[in-house]
Structure 1
């Protein structure tokens, strides 16, 4: 590359950094002293603080990663593409945000569809210093560039710490999903290494950019499978200048109903997650609405007004016909009964107004009568009764659950009260369903749910009701489903979410997992997901795949000598033994799931990863210990094989399989030179 071009690009980088500093100083010079009142001052201070966070500059992070040169007919301009917009003192762009419409050709242009570009340039950086660039002509005749060395180097760059953004390496098919319309619910069925998690997070960042006011006002929610996973992805959105989105696990999402204090067998948890429970709970809630047997008598002054039971029944049925939430109907019933009284007053020659209507609705006889017909309910008490009153459960579950299923729901040891109940996660999800039957759950503008294949029907309903007026990005892989209650298809999951028209897109091009590694793991697909297309690795490097029957410490020794992160994935039941072995060998390590410091959970060179927490994580070098035990540690073999598929596909550079015998579904050790075997 011409040195003068490289020097010019470095000068542009320096100028951009100076302009970013100028933009930050400008914001720092502003304050809330001119605000009209304290409320405005608080809002302005918060806005300025947020803007300063967006303008933070990390000298280790490049301000731009690409450039596009447009044809004369398209304007002839050149634009540097980066993580945030930077302008000079005259307001002209030094760097344009990757989410801006002008940046789209950087990701999607090709020789066959140049989108008004003559050239695309990618930059190589080292610790924030621009070291190289690579040009791709989009107008020259001849074959297109097949590989980008800079792109491959960025994908394969050693990683230590939480997940990083892929904004510099987004592929065309990923960009289409990232920029899909806000109104569209999308399911991304992604094989390991296809970047589905990154696509979901970048989609959240894009939507926050394109629909700032709407999403800031109504909220964006990121839902992950566990707390470690959320800590792993925590830095992606801030790196893209977005700090608005909230993160939560399903457990945290339903935590307002109680704390998980117990576990239950997989069959019972699966039953509680079955969509049929929604109908049982609906019947349970509405069974509390009574039938008027006596007339309502309302004394007012010297008169006594009488509403016959059949009119009270008509008022009650009129409210039921409006498909109201239980609590809303209960609140309106006194007014509906008061209306019947006012009709009688008008027939007698009175002219009652709204004040009279309100007074009658608040009268004690009316309130007591309405409360008896339509009692106040609490979710905990409803579910407590359902699990302790066999006769009532049989009544509301008739024709929905079998007698054996009803018996499985009943508690053997009955707590003193609902307040003393030891709820499970499945119970909290049911409580959330009951709460929504009573009062409508507030909806956010957009939800990104990762590893969604592991959610039960009732969990999916919990997500769906939080997006009744919004949309969702659902991320997952049916081949990686490791819960007994997992969805069998995305069409089924979309129905439970209340978004049956959602679009399903399958990603099969793998950019992270090396070819030999993914090919070996794919041996399990015919047994766990025969209908899915197998993933295809597009990287030229095939990666290192090795097998050994040595000890754990010997198995990881080679990986520890290489740069990048090392993940030792072990059966959950073996954690104590592995800890002891590593400690005796004097090896420093961190354990995923029990961090001494949540901020540094993924900062160790060696991480010990329970197989149950491996999903969604990635490491440069992975050692999977005792695959047979990983399979045997699950409730059934199908789930165990899916768990093993997850564990085998966490590597970016190398995979060592330490075993005392491989599951037969893997077909033994591959017969190829790359698959090294050691005793």
Structure 2
């Protein structure tokens, strides 16, 4: 222990020296201009931030002792290399590594080596920390035939460690099946189906960190993005990547992403029926038809005057050019830009036939000629995406013309505005409308593609939202994370094959995580009673954690709000965080009851900036969050708060599976039928 603590102290000193070296870099004489200087200065600042020594984040969490040196055998009696595995690379003054980044190839056996396949590792050591100080270690001798394989107590303790505030990384506890996904190749898209507590979100975030390590230059050029279901969720996960030294990954919701590009303010909301139709993939064809309806048959020739000569291109020849561009099915805007050059080319052909020798400058001048520009405007006019969608939603005849054979009369009526707005700026656009504008904009001009996109809680996206995300990674790859059993939107995807087709990644590899590490076995078994009703084809999560007494189901006797407050007080007696989850309609009453009892409660997302250990969570925002202890108020009210029973039961399944250490269910009315058996309720 003394030797390991000494190595930790040496590593911390070396990291501090690395940080000081970065801070002391003098770039005064190495840049050509102020722009380069500003860029380099920003890069140095990010480098300094990434080298921060966080007090409660251990520099290393494991050690590997190899039997042989890399590349060959050692002399008899000699020992192989020893590597300390941590969140980032640390080297001494001579450049020799003191800590190896967990993403490096030499670190991989820390996650995958076993007694059956030691991968040349003789000893794997895990370290335990208390308040940032190294306090324990645990050894696995993988090549010792006398030692049996056993569950790591330090690993178990790290998984169960109380959690207050934002989500933590799982770099010290990644399991072999998770590691295979994390280290997957950048070129391939992977879809991870995982039940509650299987670590799919953490796997997705660690995959981003790994890809940035393995393909840093490429992803620095093309960019990465993490897409989450709501801002509360993004606040919850926002510290994971910085803790791993990755500062540049952007995060957004689908709504924010498309509203920003569509350049409209989302201030309205759709009825469920309208949102389902607007989110249907058929709308993409409606939009395509509507955009291309602006292209008209030319009726007049184009006459270009050059000096003393007039060059005439007949209408039928222009029509042939237009028809050819339409058949190529390129972006509307790209075709519109190509049309004047194609007309100019026809003029140049006539010039050459007449004995002239025009060059590219002449073609450019002809393409800019007033007569050519007027013809292009008449035949292929510019289209504003927002105005186009406005027409579709406000003009019944325009919608009927382009939705013929795609949407029936009732579907068309469902998406038409009852009171059409006067213009784009006065319209109360919904989130689904913004996605339509985004689709229309892509039909006009290609959306910029990123190198890699992580899409979390993907089961809740509509086909049109999948298309919007797919445009952001059309030339890159994606990591899709979700659980079909937790789909709670009216348009939730029925299966991953269909979702990946809409995303534009039909050949993506689908992986399923079935081992649960977060939710206790008793809690997940209770929640899994709902699976036959909400997702009959999915396997139940097999939790590795048995925790007797972690589940309590209580009928409120008398004041149900008082029973909830009492359960919260009981949960707060334990170390860690407590989440009170309730149907959205019940939140105001419970907030008042907690305040009357002197308990301060945060809203989801505020945990990152406040010290309170109690969070009041509307059931609609619970997805993706986790708490050490959860008090669930009135399950039947959670179900009743949704448009239909199946969606309500899925929402309840989400709420039941947010607990890491203990769950108390309080109810006054009857429990949903599938939860009654064996509870005494």
SS at match of 2:108: helix
Q: Summarize the alignment of residues 321-332 of structure 1 with structure 2, pairs less than 5 Å apart.
A: 321-332=327-338
| Deviation of the 1:7 alpha carbon | 0.5
The question of 1:572 aligning with 2:584 is answered: yes
Alpha-carbon separation, structure 2, partners of 1:471 and 1:529: 28
SS at match of 1:254: helix
SS at match of 2:84: strand
Who is 1:72 aligned against?
68
**Please, which of 39, 43, 47 is the counterpart of residue 51 of structure 1?**
47
The question of 1:454 aligning with 2:460 is answered: yes
- Give deviations 1:492-528, integer Å, cap 9, x for gaps: 0110010000000000100000000000000000000
The question of 1:187 aligning with 2:187 is answered: no
Who is 1:466 aligned against?
472
Who is 1:631 aligned against?
639
**Please, which of 231, 244, 249 is the counterpart of residue 245 of structure 1?**
249
Contact 1:192–1:510 (8 Å) recurs in 2: yes
Who is 1:584 aligned against?
596
- Give deviations 1:631-674, integer Å, cap 9, x for gaps: 00001110000000000000000000011234434241535xxx
Alpha-carbon separation, structure 1, partners of 2:69 and 2:453: 40
- Give deviations 1:445-494, integer Å, cap 9, x for gaps: 00001000000000000000110110000000000000001111000011
Who is 1:3 aligned against?
none
The question of 1:341 aligning with 2:347 is answered: yes
Alpha-carbon separation, structure 2, partners of 1:540 and 1:625: 24
Contact 1:520–1:666 (8 Å) recurs in 2: no
Alpha-carbon separation, structure 2, partners of 1:241 and 1:276: 43
| Deviation of the 1:549 alpha carbon | 2.5
The question of 1:227 aligning with 2:231 is answered: yes
Alpha-carbon separation, structure 1, partners of 2:454 and 2:586: 33
Contact 1:515–1:543 (8 Å) recurs in 2: no
SS at match of 2:310: strand
**Please, which of 89, 93, 109 is the counterpart of residue 89 of structure 1?**
93
Comparing 236-245 with 300-309, greater Cα deviation is found at 300-309
Contact 2:209–2:246 (8 Å) recurs in 1: yes
Alpha-carbon separation, structure 1, partners of 2:330 and 2:438: 17
Alpha-carbon separation, structure 1, partners of 2:675 and 2:658: 20
Who is 2:59 aligned against?
63
Q: Summarize the alignment of residues 344-355 of structure 1 with structure 2, pairs less than 5 Å apart.
A: 344-355=350-361
The question of 1:535 aligning with 2:541 is answered: yes
The question of 1:41 aligning with 2:34 is answered: no
Who is 2:437 aligned against?
431
Contact 1:479–1:642 (8 Å) recurs in 2: yes
Contact 2:385–2:441 (8 Å) recurs in 1: yes
Contact 1:443–1:469 (8 Å) recurs in 2: yes
Contact 1:548–1:555 (8 Å) recurs in 2: no
SS at match of 1:72: coil
Contact 2:280–2:464 (8 Å) recurs in 1: yes
| Deviation of the 1:604 alpha carbon | 2.1
**Please, which of 317, 323, 328 is the counterpart of residue 323 of structure 2?**
317
Contact 1:509–1:535 (8 Å) recurs in 2: yes
Who is 2:288 aligned against?
282
Q: Summarize the alignment of residues 348-387 of structure 1 with structure 2, pairs less than 5 Å apart.
A: 348-387=354-393
Who is 1:299 aligned against?
305
- Stretches of structure 1 that go unaligned for 5 or more consecutive residues are 1-5, 672-676
| Deviation of the 1:198 alpha carbon | 0.2
| Deviation of the 1:543 alpha carbon | 5.3
- Give deviations 1:402-437, integer Å, cap 9, x for gaps: 122112221110111222111000000000000000
Q: TM-score, normalization: structure 2?
A: 0.96
| Deviation of the 1:288 alpha carbon | 0.7
| Deviation of the 1:309 alpha carbon | 1.1
Contact 1:543–1:653 (8 Å) recurs in 2: no
Alpha-carbon separation, structure 2, partners of 1:179 and 1:670: 43
- Give deviations 1:272-331, integer Å, cap 9, x for gaps: 000111111111111111111221222232222211111001111222233321111111
Alpha-carbon separation, structure 1, partners of 2:169 and 2:353: 72
Comparing 268-277 with 24-33, greater Cα deviation is found at 24-33
| Deviation of the 1:238 alpha carbon | 0.3
The question of 1:501 aligning with 2:507 is answered: yes
**Please, which of 11, 19, 27 is the counterpart of residue 24 of structure 1?**
19
Q: Summarize the alignment of residues 114-193 of structure 1 with structure 2, pairs less than 5 Å apart.
A: 114-142=118-146, 144-193=148-197
Alpha-carbon separation, structure 1, partners of 2:480 and 2:38: 36
Comparing 546-555 with 493-502, greater Cα deviation is found at 546-555
| Deviation of the 1:556 alpha carbon | 1.5
- Give deviations 1:242-277, integer Å, cap 9, x for gaps: 011000001110122211111111011011000111
Alpha-carbon separation, structure 1, partners of 2:383 and 2:450: 26
- The RMSD of aligned alpha carbons is 1.4
SS at match of 2:110: helix
The question of 1:544 aligning with 2:556 is answered: no
Alpha-carbon separation, structure 2, partners of 1:527 and 1:171: 30
| Deviation of the 1:542 alpha carbon | 4.3
The question of 1:399 aligning with 2:411 is answered: no
| Deviation of the 1:73 alpha carbon | 6.2
Comparing 387-396 with 527-536, greater Cα deviation is found at 387-396
Alpha-carbon separation, structure 1, partners of 2:147 and 2:284: 57
Structure 1 residues 303 and 73, CA gap change in structure 2 (3 angstroms):
closer
Who is 2:77 aligned against?
none
Q: TM-score, normalization: structure 1?
A: 0.96
Who is 1:674 aligned against?
none
Who is 1:553 aligned against?
565
